[in-house]
Amino acid sequence: MKIDIISVVPGLLESPFSHSILKRAAERGLFEVNVINLRDFSVSKQKQVDDYQYGGGAGMVIMCDPLARAIDHLQQDKKYDEIIFMTPDGTTFNQQTANRLSLKESLLIICGHYKGIDQRIREHYVTMELSIGDYVLSGGELAAAVVVDAVGRLLPGVLNDETSALFDSFQDNLLAPPVYTRPADFRGWKVPEVLLQGDPKKVDEWRHDQSLQRTKERRPDLFERE
**Residue pLDDT, tens place only, 27-59:** 999 899 999 999 999 999 999 999 999 999 889
CA distance 74 to 36: 10
What does the pLDDT read at residue 158?
A: 86
CA distances from 42 to 36, 39, 62, 67, 139 (A): 12, 5, 11, 8, 19
Is the pLDDT at 148 greater than 70, yes or no? Answer: yes
Query: Is the distance from CB of 85 to CB of 110 less than 8 angstroms?
Result: yes
Task: Tell me what pLDDT residue 172 has.
Answer: 73
Q: Between these two residues, 174 and 185, which has the higher pLDDT value?
A: 185
- The CA-CA-CA angle for residues 93, 95, 100, to 5°, reads 90
The contacts of residue 34 (CB under 8 Å, 6+ apart) are 2, 3, 4, 5
pLDDT at site 168? 56
Looking at residue 166, what is its pLDDT? 52
Omega before residue 200 within 30° of 0, cis:
no
**Is residue 127 a contact partner of residue 164, using CB atoms and an 8 Å limit?**
no
Q: Give the number of other CB atoms < 10 A from CB of residue 119.
A: 11
Phi, psi dihedrals of residue 10, rounded to the nearest 5°: -60, -25
Residue 156 confidence (pLDDT): 87
pLDDT for 225 beyond 80: no
CA neighbours closer than 13 Å in the CB half-sphere of residue 207:
14
Binned at pLDDT 50, 70 and 90, residue 18 comes out as: confident
Neighbours of 37 (CB within 10 A): 16
pLDDT at 160 over 70: no
Across the range 121-138, mean pLDDT stands at: 96
With a pLDDT cut of 70, the percent of the chain lying above it is: 94
The arithmetic mean of pLDDT across residues 53-79, rounded, is: 95
Least confident of 58-67, 125-134, 154-163, 183-192: 154-163
Radius of gyration of the chain (CA): 21
- The band of 22, judged by pLDDT with boundaries at 50, 70 and 90, is confident
Q: Look at residue 143 and tell me whether its pLDDT is greater than 60.
A: yes
Mean pLDDT score across all residues of the chain: 91
Give the helix/strand (H/E) hosting 209.
helix 200-218
